[in-house]
Structure 1
Amino acid sequence: MDINPKLVRWVAVLPLVAVFIWSMNIAVTRYVTDFISPVSISFYRWLIAFILLTPFTLPQLYRSRRVIVQHWKQLAVLAAFGMVLYQGLSYSAAHYTTATNMGIINAFIPVFTIIVSIFILKEWPNRFALLGCLISFLGLLLVIAKGQWANLLSLGGHLGDAIMLGAVFFYAFYGVFLKKWQLKIPLFISVYVQIFFALLYHLPFVFWLGLDAIDARNVWSVLYAGVFPSLIAPLLWMISIQYLGPNRTSIFMNLMPIVTAVIAYYWLSEQWTVYHTIGTALAILGVLLAQKKIPAPSQIISE
């Protein structure tokens, strides 16, 4: 889409704001661990988003009822991977690792997506993608090992990072299924139905584990999670994709580990070390390499 260069500069602010919101949510997730259980904040988050979306989506939901009924199973699967497994495991990981590590591990979603695509979409990566995956994986190991490779042998110290890895792995499935199915459903209708399924999935855990009360210590964290990362950030990201395109927009996601680390440093007093710097650099380099395309033979000849 060709738009005014001045407008491009303003639109470029939108993915930056979205990345800041998602990075802030990682820090909020870590901060609130002492005040609310993972099941409780996850349930409240989607309940708030569901309530806020309902007045705006019901009319369109009725008009889209046939296509929703046709694809309800896919929407249920997407909700399981993207809103329950990914988000739920992220809230659990926050009890055992730092927000800085969570932000860095989150940056490996594109690499995990490439791996999952091999098995589901039968899309084999090119040599740049393979090299990018290897470089990113080394960066990931460096962060988990805290800069000392011998630390990898002490498995008990990596529970939070391992849980976050599981969350990222499940989110990769979410992205691959979106690409595979390409559902022709309006974005917020799709999100609304997925939230509905996510709430249903939470009910057994809520009945078994119970819900923590919302009080002065956790109310703002719960409200933030239910409004900003659940509704506002996806909207800003969608607008960015519309004007900047998916490739240009996705590059901004590489800033998430850095933004998360800065927030965690000043708010949570977490330390940023040399191994965090190297690990993040390797992660970003790997992702950029993985996105590189091999020129077609005709292009190579013409050059």
Structure 2
Amino acid sequence: MYSNSKPMWWAISLPIIAVLIWSMNIAVTRYVSDYISPVSISFYRWLVAFIILTPFMLPQVWKQRHLVKQHFMQFVVLSAFGMFLYQGLAYSAAHYTTATNMGIINAFIPVFTIFVSILILREIPNRFAVVGSILSFLGLLYVIGRGDFSNLTQLAGHSGDLIMVLAVFFYAFYGVFLKKWQLKVPLLLSLYVQIALTLVYHLPFVLYYGIDAINQGNVASVLYAGILPSLVAPLLWMMAVQYLGPNRTSIFMNLMPVFTAIIAYFWLHEAWTMSHTIGGIVILVGIALAQKKSLSVKKSTLLS
């Protein structure tokens, strides 16, 4: 049972603010691509988060080192998929596509999660999940093809979208692994260890490609990425799950394409086309079908 001690408007505001922060980060990712390399912004982002957390979390890591040691290989995998691959590829995608497209593709995570769950958890989806997945995938192709499926044959023109699709696919693995393992570890401890491992993953790329200096053109974006989407938004999201429950909270993630498009329109002056509207609606309808399936399964499980 989830607590209802807070006023409902306050609980509802938590996931909305979290999604708004993450949506803003997509726009920031696109904006800063002209001022700093993907390797540099990704490394600096997690370095800022690590520096902020270290005074508070390092003593906790030592006190609970038995937990860290027990789940270390799981942290290694989670960090690779959820932070290094997902966010690193997103920063790379930002050089070749729009923030609007990135936001729409990001909304595809629940559908990819269904496919990854089949591979790892051996969960067989019912017809609602299958139809929803196919519908969302068609909507995604429609957006990538800019309203014309024949454009999909020109892969070079969609490299950014394809990189973002790959990033989202890796993030789906992150969510499924979390569900599979259900680690009995304090969330902040898990977050801190994963951030530390992510910095280690970056080192070979930093040594090979080099790292850009922080300057007036990118410092604000680096600080934003390292504080709000890396630390504040996850905490707000975890609080929302506590008060609203995981299913009700996850629904708010569907606001990300809308928030991202609005921010990109006013800040980055990106165009919102009819293909975005049609494809976005199709994707969200498909996701709704898929989530309806998972909710009905959970209800039947609780009643059994």
Name the TM-score, length of structure 1 as normaliser. 0.96
RMSD of aligned residue pairs (Cα, Å): 1.5
1:136-147 residue pairs with structure 2 within 5 A? 136-147=136-147
2:96 alignment partner, SS class = coil
Q: Is the 8 A contact 2:106 2:257 kept in 1?
A: yes
Q: Which residue number in structure 2 is paired with residue 117 of structure 1?
A: 117
Deviation of 1:2 after TM superposition, in Å, equals 4.7
Q: Which residue number in structure 2 is paired with residue 267 of structure 1?
A: 267
Cα distance in 2, alignment partners of residues 33 and 165 from structure 1: 18
Q: Is the 8 A contact 2:3 2:242 kept in 1?
A: no
Deviation of 1:56 after TM superposition, in Å, equals 1.4
Q: Which residue number in structure 1 is paired with residue 174 of structure 2?
A: 174
CA deviation profile, 1:133-175 (whole Å, cap 9, x unmatched): 0110011010000001211111111100000000000000101
Cα distance in 1, alignment partners of residues 106 and 3 from structure 2: 32
Q: Is the 8 A contact 2:90 2:167 kept in 1?
A: yes
For structure 2, the residue ranges without an aligned partner over 5 or more in a row are none
* Identity across matched positions, percent: 67
Cα distance in 1, alignment partners of residues 3 and 102 from structure 2: 36
Q: Which amino acid aligns with 1:202?
A: H
Q: Which residue number in structure 2 is paired with residue 84 of structure 1?
A: 84
The list of structure 1 runs, each at least 4 consecutive aligned residues, that deviate by more than 3 angstroms after superposition, is: 293-296
Cα distance in 2, alignment partners of residues 205 and 59 from structure 1: 29
Q: Which residue number in structure 1 is paired with residue 239 of structure 2?
A: 239
Deviation of 1:60 after TM superposition, in Å, equals 2.0
CA deviation profile, 1:27-49 (whole Å, cap 9, x unmatched): 00000011000000000000000
Cα distance in 1, alignment partners of residues 140 and 240 from structure 2: 28
2:33 alignment partner, SS class = helix
**Residue 3 in structure 1 maps to residue 4 in structure 2:** yes
Cα distance in 2, alignment partners of residues 253 and 293 from structure 1: 17
Q: Which residue number in structure 1 is paired with residue 94 of structure 2?
A: 94
1:97 alignment partner, SS class = coil
Q: Which residue number in structure 1 is paired with residue 16 of structure 2?
A: 16
1:88 alignment partner, SS class = helix
Cα distance in 2, alignment partners of residues 64 and 179 from structure 1: 22
Q: Which amino acid aligns with 1:269?
A: H
1:238 alignment partner, SS class = helix
1:208-227 residue pairs with structure 2 within 5 A? 208-227=208-227
Cα distance in 2, alignment partners of residues 128 and 218 from structure 1: 45
Q: Which residue number in structure 2 is paired with residue 52 of structure 1?
A: 52
Q: Which residue number in structure 2 is paired with residue 40 of structure 1?
A: 40
**Residue 193 in structure 1 maps to residue 193 in structure 2:** yes
CA deviation profile, 1:100-120 (whole Å, cap 9, x unmatched): 000000000000000000010
Q: Which amino acid aligns with 2:147?
A: G
1:145-164 residue pairs with structure 2 within 5 A? 145-164=145-164
Deviation of 1:293 after TM superposition, in Å, equals 3.4
1:160 alignment partner, SS class = helix
**Residue 282 in structure 1 maps to residue 282 in structure 2:** yes
CA deviation profile, 1:184-240 (whole Å, cap 9, x unmatched): 110010010001110000000000111100000000000000000000000000000
Cα distance in 2, alignment partners of residues 46 and 293 from structure 1: 36
Q: Is the 8 A contact 2:18 2:236 kept in 1?
A: yes
Cα distance in 2, alignment partners of residues 56 and 283 from structure 1: 41
Cα distance in 1, alignment partners of residues 228 and 175 from structure 2: 21
Q: Is the 8 A contact 2:39 2:211 kept in 1?
A: yes
Deviation of 1:62 after TM superposition, in Å, equals 1.9
Q: Is the 8 A contact 2:40 2:211 kept in 1?
A: yes
Cα distance in 2, alignment partners of residues 293 and 201 from structure 1: 37
Q: Which amino acid aligns with 1:21?
A: I
Cα distance in 2, alignment partners of residues 62 and 283 from structure 1: 45
CA deviation profile, 1:236-278 (whole Å, cap 9, x unmatched): 0000000000000000000100100000000000000111011
Cα distance in 1, alignment partners of residues 213 and 120 from structure 2: 41
Q: Is the 8 A contact 2:23 2:259 kept in 1?
A: yes
Q: Which residue number in structure 2 is paired with residue 64 of structure 1?
A: 64
Deviation of 1:292 after TM superposition, in Å, equals 1.4
Q: Which amino acid aligns with 1:3?
A: N
Q: Which amino acid aligns with 1:224?
A: Y
Cα distance in 2, alignment partners of residues 105 and 126 from structure 1: 23
